[in-house]
Amino acid sequence: MHRALLLPEVVATILQNEVSTKGFLFTALFINKLFFKEASRILWYGCGTRYGNPIYHLARIVKNDQRRAQLYADLIRMVHFAYEFSNDEYTEEAKWHEQLTRLQYPQLERVHFEDALDSVSFNRGDIIIHYAQPNVKEFRLRGGSMLSDSFLETLGQRCLRLRSVELEIHKQNYISVKGLVNFLERSQSLEIVHLREGFENSWSARAFEVISQYPRLELLSIPDVEDTWIESLAAGFPVLTSLWRFGASDRGLERMHRVAPNLTTLHLDLTNLSPSHHALASASNFSLLAMFSVKFAPGSSINGQELVLLAQNCPNLTWVQVGE
């Protein structure tokens, strides 16, 4: 064997160049220890159906040889729980938490839980908090249950590198107003925040104020806000460019421009608010908009003049969607 094949970087380059060749990586596992190590690093970079390594593969290894499973878990950087297909039916990958929570994931950076079938009952806060490993930068939960102040506290304490958090609670939310504020106050480095569905009773003026001061926040999705909350901000949202499913009155939206003038994407969800009659005029203040959509509450109205105003004031606008 050529001496160059004893260098990890050379072997890694060879494997990366042939990664699309069917069966190549699996064959490489049997060449020698170095090829096994580098091939395993590629094969186990991500775990979940979308990464080619279904969750159940790792779960079955745990059942048979937990020590071997831990060797693979040491390499995993991304875990994605969604669907799996077996015996001619789809089932949720979240059912394998019992096996996967026996392992540690020292290199894990991204963990996603999709809302798949009955996954909500599996994605309980006291279980999935295990995946809040020290290097996690992105934590996405789309459909969870039984989240509490303790969950948020642990997430904040363990994941000091956290940059993106998305939490949707579909049932049994035990997060208090104070618990949410405490988490937000210690998470100043967040760049993406999705805390809308299931957080209505945990939401407060203080939580909104804390988020508004994040120096790196680029994308935000939160429960509806009151006019006085916006008006009380002296400044805020220094680099915010995307606001998703945002709910505020026409007046509140107009005031929002003062603290978030750099928006390029604005998606309004006004369905739980009083009827709106001037949302388009208020949105036209955001002159940098490229994408805009709005869902109205029953009884709302728009007029052609305000639609023209939106087009004139936002020359970069390329996508618009208006409806109930």
Helices 177-185 and 205-212: crossing angle, nearest 10°?
10
pLDDT at position 12 is 55
CB contact set of 84 (below 8 Å; sequence gap of 6+): 49, 54, 55, 56, 90, 91, 92, 93
Cα separation, 267 vs 317, whole angstroms: 13
Q: Are 47 and 58 in contact (CB under 8 A)?
A: yes
What pLDDT, on a 0 to 100 scale, did the predictor assign at position 198?
A: 94
Residue 259 makes CB contacts below 8 A (sequence gap 6+) with 212, 230, 233, 235, 236, 237
Tell me the two tokens of residue 37: 């190590």
Kindly give the confidence (pLDDT) of every residue in the chain, 324 residues in length, as a single tens digit, with 9 standing for 90 and above: 544 454 455 545 645 655 555 554 555 564 555 556 666 676 788 999 777 788 999 999 999 999 999 999 999 999 999 988 776 678 899 999 999 999 999 999 999 999 987 899 999 999 999 999 999 999 999 999 999 999 999 999 999 999 999 999 988 889 999 999 999 999 999 999 999 999 999 999 999 999 999 999 999 999 999 999 999 998 899 999 999 999 999 999 999 999 999 999 999 999 999 999 999 999 999 999 999 999 999 999 998 999 999 999 999 999 999 986
In the chain, where are the structural domains located? 1-43, 45-214, 224-324
pLDDT value of position 13: 61
Q: What angle do CA 6, 12, 15 make, to 5 degrees?
A: 110
Burial class (CB within 10 angstroms; exposed 0-12, middle 13-18, buried 19+) of 152 = buried
CB atoms within 10 A of CB 91: 17
In this structure, CATH architecture of domain 45-214: Alpha-Beta Horseshoe (3.80)
Closest to 39 measured CA to CA, from 15, 62, 60: 15
* Maximum distance among all Cα pairs of the chain, rounded to whole angstroms: 77
Among left, alpha and beta (phi > 0; psi -120 to 50; other), residue 58 is alpha
Residue pair 219/190 in contact (Cβ under 8 Å)? The answer is no
199, 201, 202, 206 alpha-carbon torsion, rounded to 10°: 110
Q: What is the pLDDT of residue 235?
A: 87
- Determine how β-strand 46-47 pairs with β-strand 89-92: unpaired
The DSSP call for residue 272 is T
pLDDT of residue 200: 94
Closest CA to 75 of 106, 118, 116: 106
Distance (Å) of CA 128 to CA 38, 57, 131, 266: 29, 19, 6, 31
Q: Which of 153, 144, 162 is nearest to 108 (CA)?
A: 162
The two structure tokens encoding residue 153: 């506290």
- In the β-sheet with 164-174, what is the strand arrangement from edge to edge? 46-47, 78-81, 110-113, 138-148, 164-174, 192-194, 219-221, 242-246, 265-269, 291-295, 319-323
Residue given tokens 């745990």 in the structure block: 62
Name 245's Cβ contacts closer than 8 Å, sequence gap at least 6: 196, 221, 267, 268, 269
Predicted confidence at residue 317, as pLDDT, reads 97
